[in-house]
Structure 1
Amino acid sequence: MGALMLAEGGTFQPPGADSFILPPIFGGVTKPMVLVVLSAIIVAAYFVIATRNLKLVPGKGQFVAEFVYEFSRNKIAREHIGAKDFRPFVPLIFALFTFILVNNIFGIIPIIQFPTMSRIGFPLALAAVVYLVFHGVGFARHGFLGYFKHIMFPPGVPKPIYILLSPIELFQKFIAQPAALAIRVFAAMFAGHLILLVFTLGGEFLLMEAGAALKPISLVGFAFAIALTFVEALIQVLQAYIFALLTASFIGAALSEGH
């Protein structure tokens, strides 16, 4: 994206990857680090407070807490891990969904306005946890050699096809799937935040620096920024759901008797 030259001589420098590099707040502590800790506190505090005095007819806070838990438990964990094995993994699925959701939504909250998952280190750390869990339960269920057989030799495939299929399955399970899990949420949050910055800063620049004839165009930039904020909110929720969903699917596949 080239720089935008305006009638009064100003030059618009569009935001880029350097917009995500934030100076330390103090010492080596950065804003994303603070937000990660804050998100964990928010999630824990909300669900403790909302469920402290449970009522038969729930209030709004209890209703939201119960809805999110039931959704994580039944619509994600139970459906994709299986009714037999899902219960031990409900806390993990619930924690991943709520934690990623709050960190994503930070991107559209005034003043904060930074989606933590747009820093690749955080999605990679979460993907590493998922990696250890689903391979760990796979080895525990099938044994060391049995798990590799489970991955590399899915039933119902002609034996000559295994020559091509087995290395692909091995690469997919041990490298491609966990990498894609992290990159998907990172890329969505990075791109969405960058687009919002382009329209917001572009509109501001046109309003402040453009000639009188171009200043009204700033309203278009602000209008797009507002509209895209709602789209981004939907994507933020969707990406938290997809991360939790794929985690449950990976665990279910590792535990399954068939492939």
Structure 2
Amino acid sequence: MTMMGMSRASLAELEERFNGIAGSADLTELADGLFAVVSLLDREHRLRRTFTDLSATAERKAATVRTLLSGRVSEAVLETVVAAVGAKWSRAGDLPDALERFGVIAALAQAEAQGQLDDVEDELFRFGRVVDGNPNLRRALADAAAPVEARLALVDQLLSGKTAPATLQLVRQLVAHPRGRSLDRGLEEFGRLAALQRRRLVAVVRTAVPLTDGQKQRLTAWLRASYGHDVHLNVDLDPQVLGGFSVRVGDEIIDTTVAGRLEEVRRRLAG
């Protein structure tokens, strides 16, 4: 999905916010919830236009989202959609495109947390080759006249228990909601997002006070040099840190906080 102008800038800003929202969310539930909202916006064109109306305030659109979705989706899904409708989009269709992208990223982040991201990328590619080489299967999965439940049952038969859960989740999304794409193209698109996810690490920084832009740049450069990958910073303000900061990259924690040093002293004394 290629975005231009306002939409490209909005997408970049929203990815920063989404990373913070997703940090404490059930990622599988987040992905499913966002896919459901995308389906709603694809069906309800008037609602989509309402949410991308440049003359309406972000507060007004957020209130509409909360009225419509509160109690029906998780808080993480709700906050993601509120953030998205508050942004400016060049085209009405860019809003559901962005939300689908975040849903895919959530599914891929779950796979990454389970050590399965490489598997997902490979499985999406291989399934695309299987579909490409089997015209009957391609027609069966793309047959808009067939009930969605029947097409999803075929996907489950082919992939359930044989692939990573995220692979099955993403393929089901493409088959149930092709959104004008061929299955081949959708698989390629999701595969590219998997490759992008694999090349970037996420570092969660806990600090008592906001980091300056200069501090963020220096920390990012140091982490990139240390890990050999591009690194995205998620900064979590936590008054209990007391001083210093801690950084979590995957399962590794670098702790320079006063609270962390005190806890280490306590552990040594207890031992």
| TM score, norm. by length of structure 2 | 0.26
Q: Which has the higher strand share?
A: 2
| Greater relative contact order (Cα < 8 A, sep 6+) | 1
Higher helix share: 1
Could you state the TM-score of these two structures normalised by the residue count of structure 1? 0.27
